[in-house]
C-alpha cells in the first residue's frame, strides 16, 4: 500500500447500498474526497423476492476500503473515525455467534404485502400506525418482513438471537456493539418517532423480543464503540478508532447535502437510484399516509416518499427497445408506468408495468421517454404529498418554488435531468459533491471523532453546493395524460396478481 503523510486527519464513510459498497476516504478538514473504492453485491431472487448474503457486505466493505486507502495514499494511522450508512429496511437475522441464519430480505422484497395489510388492520388502521411510528406498513418495511419470516420460516425466526438492519450489522462487525440510530430505526415500523424509542406494544404485536434489537444511539454521529482488533486486522486499519452509530442511506444523503438542524431545512431532494426517493429535512414530525415519517440522523425529521422503480426500471425499458438510455424523446401520446417490480408509491406491490396510448406514429424513443416520464411523475406526485403535509415550515411561503436538489446515479444523465425539469417546472440544483451517502457517513464519523455536529461539518465541506438550472414551463399535458392512464389502469395494475406464486 502506498502511504503518504496527510497534513490533516482523515475519516472514512461507507455507503452499503443494494447493489454495491462504496467507501470514501475524506480529508476531515477540507472535506475533499481523497479516494473512492467500490465492490459489487450479489442480489438474488425472482418475482417479489430480493435477498443478499450479509457476509457479502462485510467482504465488500473490506475490498472497497482497501481500494480507497490504497488509491488515497493515506496511512491507517491518519484515519480518525469510520461510519456506515446502509440500505434501509433490510431484515438481518443472526445466530448467537453473530452469523446470518439466512440471506437478508431487502427493502425491495415485496413478498410481505399480505403481512403489511394484516398488520395495518391489527393495530386499528393507518391512523394508529401514523400516531405511533409516523409510517404505515408497506411491503418491504422491516416489521412486515419479520412477520413474513414468522409465518413462512418460523424455525428461523425462533432461532434468531439478534435482529438487525443492514447498517446495524456492519456497525456491530466494526465495533462489537449492537447499536443503531433513530434515522434507520424509524424505518422498521417498530420504532416510535415521537417517544424516540422502540414501541413495546408493536413489539408485542410482532412477537419480537426487544432483547434481540440493538440499542438506539442519540444520533448517527454518536460514538457507539471503537474499532475492534479483529475488525482492524480484517480491514487493515488501526484498532481503537471511533465507530459512529451510522444511519440509513437516505438520512446520510441528507447529512451529506447539509440538510438538518445546523443546515438547510425544508429544501426538497429528489434521489434517482435503483429506487427513487424524495425527502426534506424538517423540525416537524411528519405523520401522513403515503409518506414514510422517518427521523433524521441529527435529531430532526425526514419526511420521505419512496418508489421501487426508477433508474433500473427505465434502463430495462431501454434494453428491451435496443436503445441507449439517453436515446429518449418526450412521450407524446404514449404513457409508460414502469412498475416492473411492483410499486410502493402508489402502494401496488403486485403491479406490473403498463404501456398505453400507442399510435402508428409512436417511436421507440418516445416509448423510452414515456418510461422516464412515468418514473419521474410517480416521484413528483409523492413530493406533492410532502408539500401537502404540515412537515414543512408554514412560515416559508417560497417552499414550493425552491429548487429540487437532484442526486443519485440518475442525476448524471441528461434525460433524467431534463425530464425532472420539464415535469416539475422547478429550478434544479445538481450538487457538485460525489457519493453523498458516503460523504454523509464520513461526516458522522467526524462527529464521533470530535463531537462536532455532522450536518454543520458537511455544510462546511460544501458537498451540497452545485450548479443551478433554471425552471422551465411545467409540462401539464404530460401530467394529465399520465394521471388519466394511472386512474384508468388502476384496476389492471391491482389485478396483476402476486409476483411470487403462493405469496398469499
Annotated active-site residue in 109, 249, 266, 315: 249
The C-alpha atoms of residue 359 and residue 302 are separated, in whole angstroms, by 42
Within a domain: 110: yes
Within a domain: 274: no
- Burial 4-36, CB ≥16 within 10 A → b, else e: eebeebbbbbbbbbbbebbbbbbbbeebebbbb
Q: What is the CA radius of gyration of the chain?
A: 22
Residues 277-290, mean pLDDT to the nearest whole number: 84
Q: pLDDT per residue over 414-466, tens digit each?
A: 999 999 999 999 999 999 888 999 999 999 999 999 999 999 999 999 988 99
CATH number at 121 reads 3.30.420.40
Give the pLDDT of residue 262: 83
Give the pLDDT of residue 400: 66
Query: Using an 8 Å Cβ cutoff, are 227 and 14 in contact?
Result: no
| CA angle (82 as vertex; 242, 409 as ends), nearest 5 | 160
Residue corresponding to grid cell 448524471: 412
Query: Using an 8 Å Cβ cutoff, are 181 and 245 in contact?
Result: yes
pLDDT of 498 above 50:
no
Within a domain: 484: no
Strands (E), 41-78: 51-52
- Burial 236-260, CB ≥16 within 10 A → b, else e: ebeeebbbbbbbbbbbbbbbbbbbb
Within a domain: 213: yes
Within a domain: 238: yes
* Domain range enclosing 189: 10-251
Establish whether 249 is a catalytic residue.
Answer: yes
Q: What is the mean pLDDT of the chain?
A: 92
Helices (H), 280-435: 311-321, 364-388, 414-424
pLDDT of 492 above 80:
no
The C-alpha atoms of residue 66 and residue 439 are separated, in whole angstroms, by 17
Residue 503 pLDDT level (bands cut at 50, 70, 90):
very low
Within a domain: 401: no
Number of domains in the chain: 1
Residue 188 pLDDT level (bands cut at 50, 70, 90):
very high
Give the pLDDT of residue 501: 34
pLDDT of 6 above 60:
no
Within a domain: 245: yes
Within a domain: 142: yes
Residue 481 pLDDT level (bands cut at 50, 70, 90):
very high
Question: Which grid coordinates are listed for 63?
Answer: 475490498
Residues 280-299, mean pLDDT to the nearest whole number: 86
Residues 271-299, mean pLDDT to the nearest whole number: 87
Q: Give 14 or 3, the one with higher predicted confidence.
A: 14
pLDDT of 125 above 70:
yes
Amino acid at each position: 500500500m502506498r502511504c503518504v503523510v496527510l497534513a490533516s486527519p482523515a475519516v472514512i464513510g461507507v455507503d452499503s447500498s443494494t447493489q454495491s459498497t462504496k467507501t470514501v476516504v475524506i480529508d476531515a478538514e477540507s472535506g475533499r474526497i481523497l479516494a473512492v473504492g467500490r465492490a459489487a453485491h450479489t442480489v438474488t431472487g425472482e418475482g417479489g423476492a430480493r435477498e443478499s448474503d450479509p457476509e457479502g457486505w462485510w467482504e465488500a466493505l473490506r475490498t472497497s476500503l482497501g481500494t480507497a486507502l490504497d488509491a488515497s495514499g493515506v496511512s491507517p494511522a491518519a484515519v480518525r473515525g469510520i461510519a456506515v450508512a446502509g440500505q434501509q429496511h433490510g431484515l438481518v437475522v443472526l445466530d448467537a455467534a453473530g452469523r446470518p441464519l439466512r440471506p437478508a430480505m431487502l427493502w425491495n422484497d415485496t413478498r410481505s404485502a399480505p403481512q403489511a395489510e394484516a398488520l395495518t388492520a391489527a393495530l386499528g388502521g393507518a391512523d394508529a400506525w401514523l400516531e405511533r411510528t409516523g409510517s404505515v406498513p408497506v411491503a418491504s418495511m422491516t416489521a412486515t418482513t419479520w412477520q413474513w419470516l414468522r409465518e413462512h420460516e418460523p424455525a428461523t425466526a425462533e432461532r434468531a438471537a439478534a435482529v438487525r438492519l443492514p447498517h446495524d450489522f456492519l456497525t456491530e462487525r466494526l465495533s462489537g456493539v449492537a447499536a443503531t440510530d433513530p434515522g434507520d430505526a424509524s424505518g422498521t415500523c417498530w420504532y416510535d418517532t415521537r417517544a424516540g424509542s422502540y414501541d413495546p406494544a408493536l413489539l408485542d404485536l410482532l412477537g419480537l423480543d426487544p432483547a434481540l434489537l440493538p440499542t438506539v444511539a442519540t444520533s448517527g454521529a454518536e460514538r457507539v464503540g471503537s474499532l475492534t482488533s479483529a475488525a482492524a486486522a480484517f480491514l487493515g486499519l488501526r484498532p481503537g478508532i471511533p465507530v459512529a452509530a451510522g444511519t440509513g442511506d437516505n438520512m446520510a444523503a441528507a447529512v451529506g447535502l447539509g440538510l438538518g438542524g445546523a443546515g438547510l431545512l425544508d429544501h426538497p431532494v429528489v434521489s434517482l437510484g435503483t429506487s427513487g426517493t424524495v425527502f426534506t429535512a424538517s423540525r416537524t414530525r411528519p405523520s401522513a399516509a403515503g409518506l414514510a415519517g422517518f427521523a433524521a440522523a441529527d435529531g430532526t425529521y425526514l419526511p420521505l416518499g419512496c418508489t421501487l422503480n426508477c433508474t433500473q426500471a427505465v434502463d430495462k425499458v431501454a434494453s428491451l427497445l435496443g436503445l441507449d438510455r439517453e436515446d429518449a424523446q418526450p412521450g407524446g401520446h404514449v404513457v409508460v408506468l414502469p412498475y416492473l417490480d411492483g410499486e410502493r408509491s402508489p402502494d401496488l406491490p403486485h403491479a406490473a408495468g403498463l404501456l398505453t396510448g400507442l399510435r402508428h406514429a409512436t417511436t421507440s424513443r418516445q416509448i423510452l421517454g414515456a418510461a422516464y416520464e412515468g418514473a419521474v411523475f410517480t416521484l413528483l406526485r409523492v413530493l406533492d404529498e410532502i408539500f401537502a403535509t404540515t412537515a414543512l415550515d408554514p412560515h416559508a411561503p417560497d417552499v414550493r418554488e425552491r429548487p429540487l436538489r437532484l442526486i443519485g446515479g440518475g442525476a448524471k444523465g441528461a434525460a433524467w435531468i431534463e425530464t425532472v425539469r420539464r415535469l416539475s417546472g422547478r429550478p434544479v440544483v445538481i450538487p457538485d459533491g460525489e457519493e453523498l451517502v458516503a460523504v454523509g457517513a464520513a461526516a458522522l464519523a467526524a462527529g464521533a471523532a470530535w463531537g462536532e455536529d455532522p450536518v454543520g461539518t458537511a455544510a462546511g465541506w460544501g458537498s451540497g453546493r452545485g450548479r443551478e438550472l433554471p425552471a422551465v414551463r411545467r409540462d401539464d399535458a404530460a401530467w394529465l395524460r399520465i394521471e388519466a392512464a394511472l386512474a384508468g389502469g388502476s384496476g389492471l395494475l391491482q389485478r396483476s396478481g402476486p409476483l411470487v406464486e403462493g405469496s398469499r
